[in-house]
Copies of this chain bind each other. A is one copy, B any other.
Amino acid sequence: MPKKVDHEARRQEISEALWRIASTRGLDGASLRDVAAEAGISLGRLQHYFRTKDEMLVFALQHINRLAAGRIRERIESLDQEPTPRAVLRACLSGMLPLDDKSRIGLLVGAAYYARAVHDPALRAEAQHGIPQLRAFFADQLRRAAERGELSPERATEDEAMLLISAVDGLATYVLLGVHEPQDALRMLDLKLAHLFGDAGEGVEGQERVKGREGAGR
């Protein structure tokens, strides 16, 4: 037999090439030839690792979801030990906004997948997958906050968690559309959290101030 190759690693490299193309041209605009070229390999080689385009698409979605979950975990762990539930929530939610190029690309890819997942059952199953988990995690954080007396108990619900996710998702959507800037979205996220946690304009705590770059043109 020939040299053994790490299939998983190759597939991940190809997935990342796919994202780069999908984030600028969409999933339909990413032909196998384009992806192969972007990954610096031949079409034949790509087809050696993915027998069909759908197979590649599904794998790349699973991979990006895995990475996203990892990024969220990292963000939480980068907080001080014993962070407040509110700090955890803010870290996760702001991670869902396109505040840097990496998450911006991730969101663009996610948008491309969403548009296809709405019609494609195979992709839909994957795309749905993470949300209930995320909602449950957020709801748990809300409950912890309520126990600590930082949140009104009747707001520590799954519905409230889903509203949080939805709002941030919508904010991100409109950043990508160019309706407002990333820092505007972050400001509104903080506003939302402030209302949820019942701050009454007393100067928001537990988070760094948004810095600079005010009128920076798009």
Residues of A within 8 A of B (CB): 24-26, 28-29, 108, 111-112, 114-119, 124, 127-128, 131-132, 154-155, 159-160, 162-163, 165-171, 173-174, 176-180, 187-188, 191-192, 195, 201
Residue A173 contacts which of B112, B159, B166, B178 (CB distance < 8 angstroms)? B166
List chain B residues, Cβ under 8 A from A166. 166-171, 173-174, 188
Q: Are B115 and A115 in contact (CB under 8 A)?
A: yes
List chain B residues, Cβ under 8 A from A108. 118
Q: Are A201 and B154 in contact (CB under 8 A)?
A: yes
Smallest Cβ distance from A168 to chain B, in angstroms? 7
The chain B residue sitting closest to A190, CB to CB, is B159
Most chain-B CB neighbours within 10 Å: which of A111, A116, A165, A179?
A179
Residue A28 contacts which of B28, B131, B167 (CB distance < 8 angstroms)? B28
List chain B residues, Cβ under 8 A from A112. 115
User: What separation, in Å, do the CA atoms of A165 and B192 have in the docked complex?
Assistant: 13
Smallest Cβ distance from A185 to chain B, in angstroms? 8
A114-B111, A116-B26 given; A191·B163 CB < 8 A? yes
List chain B residues, Cβ under 8 A from A116. 26
A26-B116, A167-B170 given; A127·B188 CB < 8 A? no
Q: Are B124 and A118 in contact (CB under 8 A)?
A: no
User: What separation, in Å, do the CA atoms of A117 and B187 have in the docked complex?
Assistant: 25
